[in-house]
Amino acid sequence: AQKITQTQPGMFVQEKEAVTLDCTYDTSDPSYGLFWYKQPSSGEMIFLIYQGSYDQQNATEGRYSLNFQKARKSANLVISASQLGDSAMYFCAMREGRAAGNKLTFGGGTRVLVKP
Amino acid sequence: GAVVSQHPSRVICKSGTSVKIECRSLDFQATTMFWYRQFPKQSLMLMATSNEGSKATYEQGVEKDKFLINHASLTLSTLTVTSAHPEDSSFYICSARAVTSGDRNTQYFGPGTRLTVL
B33 bridge partner residues: B50, B96
Q: What average pLDDT does this structure show over B10-30? A: 94
B30 Cα to chain A: minimum distance (Å): 10
Q: Which residues of A touch B109 (CB under 8 A)?
A: 37, 44-45, 47
Checking phi first, is residue A16 left (phi over 0); if not, alpha (psi -120 to 50) or beta?
left
Question: How high is the pLDDT of residue A96?
Answer: 87
Give the model's confidence band at B98: pLDDT under 50 very low, under 70 low, under 90 confident, else very high: low
Pairwise CB contact (< 8 Å): B31 & A100: no
Distance CA B34, CA B48 (A): 6
pLDDT over threshold 70, residue A99: no
pLDDT at B105: 53
Residues 51-90 of B with CB under 8 A from A: none
- CA–CA min distance B11, chain A (Å): 15
User: Is residue A60 within 8 Å of residue A50, measured between CB atoms?
Assistant: no
Residue B112 is nearest to which of A37, A44, A47, comparing CB atoms? Answer: A44
- pLDDT of B104 > 70? The answer is no
Please give the Cα distance from B108 to B5 (Å, whole number): 10
**DSSP state, residue A6:** -
Q: What is the pLDDT of residue B100?
A: 55
